[in-house]
Amino acid sequence: MKRLSNKVAVITGGSSGIGLATAQRFVEEGAVVYVTGRKQQELEAAAAKVGAIAVQGDASNPADLDRLYETVRGDGRQVDVLVANVGTAEVARLEDVTDEHFDKTFTINVKGTLKTVQKALPLLNDGASIVLVGSVSGSTSAPGFSVYGASKAAVRSFARGWANELKGRNIRVNTLAPGTTDTPGIGSGVDDDTRRAFMTHLTSRVPLGRWGRPEEQADAILFLASDESSYITGFELVVDGGATQLGAFG
């Protein structure tokens, strides 16, 4: 029996990286999967590749979220699994933080996560699973990522609060906290040599000696989404090659 047979899943930010890898795993495990992304052509190509249903939209835009859930409702479906995966990260040291940097980060990472889950509530089946994609930066933030880390700490806090609020419906809410993962968003906007140097530097701080793969994060999300984690809620699952637990950021 596949782990998500007869389940309906919604994944925001499913055009690439962890979101796309998760969509693929969910489809392989029997789920009907809806994925969102801002870029129509990129999203449609990715969804077609893994067998998901594409709904173009920006997860930080409430109107786009309404259209997403109306699509699911129009297909006569409810939601069993919701993965709030959209996020952004930009480097800014304390002295360089601007209102624009702060507002962008918190609008996408915090408000976007809130609205993604809030607007899904009428469609969520009792017993559903919600997975919020946070970050190890929510606990141990590197220089230049203080605002990003604060936004991901807020996401972690959401999981605890919502797990309590939704327990009467047996809806579980958990957080995945990825460490450094080799996705297209890492090092975007820089040349290949700079990206490789950045990867080498961060790899030296990971006890397992390498970056994570999107597929490894997807496997962890699958665990949190499936009945295999039926007695787990309000939890943060850290998948970072041992970096935080073994003190690599100390």
Is residue 247 included in any domain, yes or no?
no
- The Cα–Cα gap between 250 and 245 comes to 10
Residue 198: the pLDDT is: 67
Is residue 245 included in any domain, yes or no?
no
Is residue 250 included in any domain, yes or no?
no
| Model confidence, pTM | 0.93
- Using one digit for the tens of pLDDT, what is the confidence trace for 23-76? 999 999 999 999 999 999 999 999 999 999 999 999 999 999 999 999 999 999
Is residue 73 included in any domain, yes or no?
yes
Q: Each residue's pLDDT tens digit in the chain (250 positions)?
A: 899 999 999 999 999 999 999 999 999 999 999 999 999 999 999 999 999 999 999 999 999 999 999 999 999 999 999 999 999 988 899 999 999 999 999 999 999 999 999 999 999 999 999 999 999 989 887 788 899 999 999 999 999 999 999 999 999 999 999 988 888 766 555 567 766 676 777 777 788 888 899 999 999 999 999 999 999 999 999 999 998 888 654 4
Residue 186: the pLDDT is: 65
Structurally, how many domains does the chain consist of? 1
Residue 249: the pLDDT is: 46
Residue 189: the pLDDT is: 55
Domain of residue 169 covers 8-239
Is residue 246 included in any domain, yes or no?
no
Is residue 68 included in any domain, yes or no?
yes
Q: Give yes or no: 231 in active site.
A: no
Is residue 244 included in any domain, yes or no?
no
Q: What are 70's two structure tokens?
A: 């109306």
Residue 183: the pLDDT is: 80
Q: What are 43's two structure tokens?
A: 């999203």
CA torsion through residues 40, 48, 89, 138, sign: positive
Q: What is the CATH number of the domain that holds 133?
A: 3.40.50.720
- The Cα–Cα gap between 70 and 40 comes to 18
Q: Could you tell me which of 131, 124, 229 has the C-alpha nearest to residue 169? A: 124
244 phi/psi in degrees, rounded to 5: -80, -40
- The Cα–Cα gap between 155 and 171 comes to 17
Is residue 1 included in any domain, yes or no?
no
- Residue 119 Cα distances to 60, 167, 191, 232, angstroms: 12, 18, 39, 23
Answer left, alpha or beta for residue 30, where phi above 0 means left and psi between -120 and 50 means alpha.
left
With b meaning 16 or more CB within 10 Å and e meaning fewer, what string describes 218-239?
bebbbbbbbeebeeebbebbbb
